[in-house]
Amino acid sequence: MSFVGKILIGVQVVLSILFMCAASAVFVQHTSWKQLADLRKAEFDRIEGEHANAIAELERKLTEVEAERDEQRNRADAVVGDNQTLNQQNDALTEEVNTLNQQLQRQTGIAEAKSNEAAFRQAEAEKVRVKNETLQETLDNQVEVNRGLRDEIRVKDIAYEELLAQYNEMLEENAFLTKVVRLNGLETDRSLVVDMAEPPPPVEGVVVGTRKDKTNRTNMAQISLGTDDGIAIGHILDVYRPDTGDGEGSRYLGRIRIVYATPDEAVGLVVEAAKNGIIEKGDNVSTKL
């Protein structure tokens, strides 16, 4: 047998001895525990019996106390019920008394209100009577005024009809006169018409600007004369070029009619143009030719 085998056999023997000792100890301990358990069980059974008896006694006493408590409670409930009934009766009587007092106060207030209302209505009736008399008097006066106004309106209606007839006649006459004026080639625009009783004063000025038409001929001329010089819309001025020493002498260039005027200047429309020249800046204008 090898050395290892001897060691294993020795270990096995030692373990067997140890297991035998452990088994003996367990057996001894198991026997002691069982005896102790039997003793404890007997003690527990005794205590449990005493506890059951005590509980039964307590339950009996509790039943007696609960019965007495219920009886006392029933008595108290009866007393409380009687008290509540009395309180309810007292509250009902108090409410009835209050209701009667309120009704009494209401009836007293109604009586006072009706008395005051009767006095107020009497005063109001008197005021209404006086007011009605005043209104009736005012109405009578207004009827007279309306009658007079109707008569006045009737008179004015007649006058209006007469004026309307005159106006229509004047419109017809104005239309006829306007037609006659246009047929004779006269101006109808008031802004361009000059009072013929006031001809332009004898003044002379200079052309300060011109505007030409598509044919390169002057159709508008601005001059150095204005309303401060007596020039007015509708005035006719002659345009000429003075002798410049070229041997041609003075030349007449045409006429312009004033269509716009300011205090210092005026603008004229060329209404007559000479064939021997074109109006240009620097030419002279005059009302004396």
The pLDDT value recorded for residue 185 is 56
Q: How many domains does the chain have?
A: 1
> The domain spanning residue 248 has which CATH number?
2.40.10
Per-residue pLDDT tens, the chain, 289 aa: give them: 566 666 777 777 778 788 777 776 666 565 565 666 677 777 777 777 777 777 778 778 878 878 888 888 888 788 777 778 878 887 888 888 788 888 888 888 887 888 788 788 888 888 888 888 888 888 888 888 888 888 888 888 888 888 788 778 878 877 776 776 667 555 565 555 554 446 889 999 999 999 988 888 899 999 999 999 999 988 999 999 987 777 677 889 999 999 999 999 999 999 998 887 899 999 999 998 7
State the pLDDT at residue 205: 96
Residue 215 lies in a domain: yes
pTM comes to: 0.36
Domain that includes residue 253, residue range: 197-286
- List Cβ neighbours of 201 (8 Å cut-off, separation of 6 or more): 229, 230, 287
**Matching residue, tokens 């006072």:** 112
Residue 160 lies in a domain: no
Closest by CA position to 258, among listed 289, 216, 230, 288? 230
Q: Considering the domain boundaries, does residue 247 fall inside one?
A: yes
Report yes or no on 232 lying in a domain: yes
- pLDDT at position 90, please? 79
The verdict on residue 239 lying in a domain is yes
Model pLDDT, residue 181 = 62
Domain assignment of residue 206, yes or no: yes
pLDDT of residue 280: 92
The answer to whether position 21 is within a domain reads no
Contacts of 240 (CB under 8 A, 6+ apart): 250, 251, 252, 253, 283, 284, 286, 289
Distance CA 245, CA 284 (A): 16
The predicted structure's pLDDT at residue 4: 63
Instruction: Classify residue 252: in a domain, yes or no.
Output: yes
